[in-house]
Amino acid sequence: MTCDSRHIDLVENHDQQSGSSWVGTDAPRSDYRGLYIHIPFCSRRCIYCDFTTRAIASDSPELDEYRDHLIREIRKATREGLLGSIETIYIGGGTPSYFGHGRLVDLVYTLSLSINLNDNSEFTLEANPESLTSAMMRDLYSLGVNRFSLGVQSFVDSELRWLGRGHDSRQARDAITMIRERCDNVAIDLICGIPKQTIRSWQQSIESAVETGVTHISVYPLTVEEDTPLSAMIASGEARPPDNDLQAEMMQIAAEILPSKGFARYEVASYAQPGYQCRHNISYWSGIPYLGLGKGAAGMRNLGDNRERLLAGQVVERLAPAQSRAEDLMLGMRMSRGVSIEDVRSAQSLIPSIESVFAELVTLGLTKVLDGRYQPTARGWLLGNELYGRIWASVDSDGIQV
């Protein structure tokens, strides 16, 4: 699952939008270094989900049609020279593991023929515990998938039932064990702020995650998106909205427990054992061009100093040079390493107020200066909307024509 606090993630918000797939043909050859493929199907929709996905029967002919369409698009991108520099691949959803063993093998086999996969490639597949099988995992691993991201969300069964998940905690543990028999690069997601979740049950989920031996853990606050069952439940009084203060406390608890267990926080919502950071997601936050294939999948490309986002084969957003630079600084501040003082100084030619904006962020306690870099503080991560918003607003405040 993708989010951080989902409400502050520009890139992932694009990935959630709907649209009928397929990249345009006018991108620069070999410009893309990341590839995202979207599988917009699930066995059921969770009550909080607003991603481009829908429930579908596992034997629906539409699944084969979608596989065939994706394969044609991969071959088309290959002919157009768009896959020659791909370093990371991410198959997300929806629930890719629900797509089915045979269809996934066909898809990944096509990718293996189209992209030069090597020991330095990162190839992630999202999966849910109830639909990932041993045979599927074995065959996909043999074809080059070397990272599995498992949608766990909680190790407390009552919380999983409330979220509408299709698995229980035992299935989650069994799936992790199954993956680790062949692949040690296992990521999971956890959600905090679930109704009736307590500090103790949140700690229990974090501790259970560590005990399973996973190498990457993402922690997200539950967010209420429009037009979801959760938003309807809250509007009717059936459920209470998430407690922001409690969520902040839970995020802080994760920030205390996980580093003590060997997990380094490298991004606002992401913790990893040494050597297991997600390179694909880092590329999103670093302005690295990526190609999106599949319904609802976004892409991004740099054209000189300008930046374009694509959805459904069309340019849906153009960023002028000043906007592109502001976005790089904003997304860079999602990561623990932050951005260098020199990067901020060099952006001043495009955004005259940017150095004063960062100085103010330090004064507000949202950032700190360490080893020649502006880095987010714990307060800055908790108040991400303010931190990122001030950086982005610098373009408007300077009256820059875009």
14 — pLDDT class (breaks 50, 70, 90):
very low
| Claim to verify: residue 130 and residue 65 sit in the same structural domain | yes
| Claim to verify: residue 153 and residue 35 sit in the same structural domain | yes
pTM of the model: 0.90
Lowest-pLDDT choice from 3-7, 354-358, 392-396: 3-7
Q: What is the pLDDT of residue 226?
A: 87
| Claim to verify: residue 253 and residue 338 sit in the same structural domain | no
Residue 186: strand, helix, or coil? strand
| Claim to verify: residue 277 and residue 326 sit in the same structural domain | no
- 124 has a pLDDT exceeding 80: yes
User: Is 63 a domain residue?
Assistant: yes
User: Among the three residues 283, 304, 333, which one is the final residue of a domain in this structure?
Assistant: 283
- 9 has a pLDDT exceeding 80: no
Domain with residue 195: its CATH number is 3.20.20.70
User: Is 185 a domain residue?
Assistant: yes
Q: What is the pLDDT of the chain when averaged over all its residues? A: 89
User: Is 297 a domain residue?
Assistant: no
- 5 has a pLDDT exceeding 90: no
Q: State the residue range of the domain holding 154.
A: 6-283
- Angle between helix axes 321-332 and 384-397 (nearest 10 degrees) is 160
| Claim to verify: residue 252 and residue 401 sit in the same structural domain | no
Contact status, residue 38 vs residue 19, Cβ threshold 8 Å: no
| Claim to verify: residue 196 and residue 278 sit in the same structural domain | yes
Q: Exposure string (b/e) for 312-350, b if CB count within 10 Å is 16 or more?
A: beeeeeebbbbbbbbbbbbbbbbbebbbeeebbeebeeb
Percentage of the chain exceeding pLDDT 70: 91
Q: What is the pLDDT of residue 397?
A: 56
356 — pLDDT class (breaks 50, 70, 90):
very high
| Claim to verify: residue 51 and residue 192 sit in the same structural domain | yes
Q: What is the pLDDT of residues 209-258, one digit of tens each?
A: 999 999 999 999 999 888 888 889 899 999 889 999 999 999 999 999 99
Q: What is the pLDDT of residues 26-56, one digit of tens each?
A: 444 458 999 999 999 999 888 888 778 889 9
Cβ contacts of 161 within 8 Å, gap of 6 or more: none
User: Is 311 a domain residue?
Assistant: no
User: Is 305 a domain residue?
Assistant: no
Measured distance CA(229)–CA(392) in Å, rounded? 32
Q: What is the pLDDT of residue 53?
A: 82
End-to-end Cα spacing for the chain: 33
- 13 has a pLDDT exceeding 60: no
- 8 has a pLDDT exceeding 50: no
User: Is 386 a domain residue?
Assistant: yes
Count of domains observed in the chain? 2
- Please report which helix (H) or strand (E) contains residue 308, including its range: strand 306-311
User: Is 315 a domain residue?
Assistant: no
Q: What is the pLDDT of residue 19?
A: 32
| Claim to verify: residue 339 and residue 279 sit in the same structural domain | no
| Claim to verify: residue 264 and residue 343 sit in the same structural domain | no
393 — pLDDT class (breaks 50, 70, 90):
very high
User: Is 302 a domain residue?
Assistant: no
Q: What is the pLDDT of residue 303?
A: 85
Mean pLDDT for the stretch of residues 156-177: 95
Domain with residue 352: its CATH number is 1.10.10
Nearest C-alpha neighbor of 56 from the set 40, 42, 39, 38? 42
Mean pLDDT for the stretch of residues 129-135: 96
